[in-house]
Amino acid sequence: MRTAPPTSPETATNRPSLRTSWRRIGASAFATATLVFAGLGTAVHASAAPATTAKAAKSTSAKVTWARSCATPKKKGQMACNALRVTGGITAFQKANAHADAVTPKAADASSPSGYGPSDLQSAYGLADAAASNGSGETIAIVDAYDDPNAESDLATYRSYYGLSDCTTDNGCFTKVSQTGSTTSLPTADSGWAGEISLDLDMASAICPNCNITLVEAKSSSMANLGKAVNEAVKLGAQYVSNSYGGSESSSDSTYDTSYFKHPGVAITVSAGDEGYGAEYPAASQYVTSVGGTALSTSSNSRGWTEKVWNTSSTEGTGSGCSSYDVKPSWQTDTGCSKRMIADVSAVADPATGVSVYDTYGDGTGWATYGGTSASAPIIAGVYALAGTPGSSDYPAKYPYAAAGTSALNDVTSGSNGSCTTSYFCTAKSGYDGPTGWGTPEGIDAFTG
């Protein structure tokens, strides 16, 4: 859904340095670490539009392949979700847990996780202490299109496996509503968007296990209906709102900005996109935190992890770029782009270094690994929630800029997501760059006012 495709194809292969020892995670040891996760079905859009077929894509771990979770939009103004479901290969998590790669990978198995779990993500981003202590009383809203009938039960399985506290309707932690706030009159179910919903709910849980979660389901994937869902989320009291979708920029974006995303005192995160270099909306909104994507791998360095720009090919990787329409917010000071620059910060998004998700409605039959900037947006929303209530008149997108260049952010300095005439629009460097913004979280200090 880019407006400006790269001028020439460019492919990057990512080969991580993996530690031979690994801290086991979850409620039980990962006994089937080298199993390859294969396809779990084809997403079916509510309008019966076919989903994009799975494609092979070389990335960090041994020919990992994936499929786009949601069907390709058919009409102008519709948004695409940014979730990519792994269908085969060996993920970074599996490789790190393999015994010197001595075991031949098996065929598909949905019985065990094959991606990073909560303790991995908290470790990678310096959040373990905050995740244990913070977040009580805070509410993260997840905004998506269509209904996932199994959202609550799938979330319960994910949280139980990883030893997280219950988050249910009965105990008041979990709420599911339509874009009008109804708990009973919900949108049509959709298997592709259900995978997106599971990904978002699981990532919010992984980063902020003490937070409440409100799932707001729009009746379609149009920007208008998703925008109304954002407004409903804020109306219901959420101060952290995650949006894992995007589409082409248009001259209507400034109107959408004021109608749906101008909510001072609310941290609104938006995926930067999954089609490589090029600007998307609503990541281009001046009022949101646009979130780029990285490839995350274990390392022998002092942090224990390393990251680079997520890029598989000229058409698959994190989005970035200079908006054609949205004005530049006052806290953005890069000089190469006179309008809004994407992104602000980043987190893991490469499917080959993807995250563990539990999903049983249509798109999956159990455990899956997901990537895409649909993973990074709810991760960053969770970090904002751990950091605490934003200032009532603030747009929290500005917070990481105040921490730029400090130890509160992991500066990502390698990789590119395509070809561009202004280098930092598509290529990582020391300091600010388009694909990763100011970097990834190292604790919560860069996400508080």
Return the pLDDT at 97: 80
Read off the pLDDT of residues 73-108 as tens digits, 9 standing for 90 and up: 888 889 999 999 998 888 898 888 875 444 444 434
pLDDT at 70 over 70: yes
- Measured CA to CA, the distance from residue 224 to residue 204 in angstroms comes to 24
- For residues 81 and 193, the answer to whether their CB atoms sit within 8 Å is yes
Q: Is the pLDDT of residue 401 over 80?
A: yes
Phi-psi region of 109 (alpha: psi -120 to 50; beta: other; left: phi over 0): beta
How is residue 299 written in tokens?
């390392």
Q: Residue 365 has what pLDDT?
A: 81
- What is the pLDDT, as a whole number, of residue 108? 42
Least confident range from 31-40, 212-221, 399-408: namely 31-40
Bridge partners, residue 370, by sequence: 85, 355
**Statement: residue 171 has pLDDT above 50:** yes
pLDDT tens, residue by residue, 133-165: 999 999 999 999 999 999 999 999 999 999 999
Q: Shortest CA distance to 415 belongs to which of 299, 304, 292, 333?
A: 292
**Strand bridging mode 65-68 / 84-88:** antiparallel
For residues 432 and 444, give the distance between their C-alpha atoms in angstroms, rounded to a whole number. Answer: 19
Query: H-type helices in 307-437, by residue range?
Result: 373-387, 399-402
From 246, 333, 257, select the one nearest 283 (Cα to Cα). Answer: 246
- In sequence order, the 6+-apart residues with CB closer than 8 A to the CB of 170 are none
The pLDDT value recorded for residue 90 is 87
DSSP letters along 197-249, please?
HHHHHHHHHHH-TTSEEEEEEESSSBHHHHHHHHHHHHHTT-SEEEE-EEB--
pLDDT at 334 over 70: yes
Nearest to 394 by CA among 294, 287, 319, 256: 287
Closest CA to 347 of 385, 296, 302, 397: 296
> In the prediction, which pLDDT does 109 show?
59
Q: How far apart are CA 89 and CA 312, in angstroms?
A: 15
* Residue keyed to tokens 């998703």: 226
Residue 386 confidence (pLDDT) above 70: yes
Cα dihedral across residues 27, 29, 32, 33: positive or negative = positive
Provide the angle, in degrees to the nearest 10, between the axes of the packed helices 191-207 and 373-387. 30
- Strand ranges for 275-425 from DSSP E: 289-298, 305-309, 311-313, 316-317, 321-327, 339-342, 345-348, 355-359, 366-371, 409-410
pLDDT band at 30; cut points 50, 70, 90: very low
Specify the pLDDT at position 62: 61
Average pLDDT for residues 366-390, to the nearest whole number? 97
Which whole-number Å values give the CA distances from 234 to 229, 231, 282, in the listed order? 9, 5, 17
Least confident of 27-41, 144-158, 296-310: 27-41
Query: What pLDDT, on a 0 to 100 scale, did the predictor assign at position 104?
Result: 44
144: which 2 tokens?
A: 């998506």
C-alpha 64/C-alpha 405 separation (Å) is 34
pLDDT given at position 99:
52
pLDDT over threshold 70, residue 13: no
Could you tell me where the DSSP H helices lie in 134-174? 151-161
pLDDT tens for residues 350-374? 999 999 999 999 666 899 999 999 9
H/E run at residue 269: strand 267-271
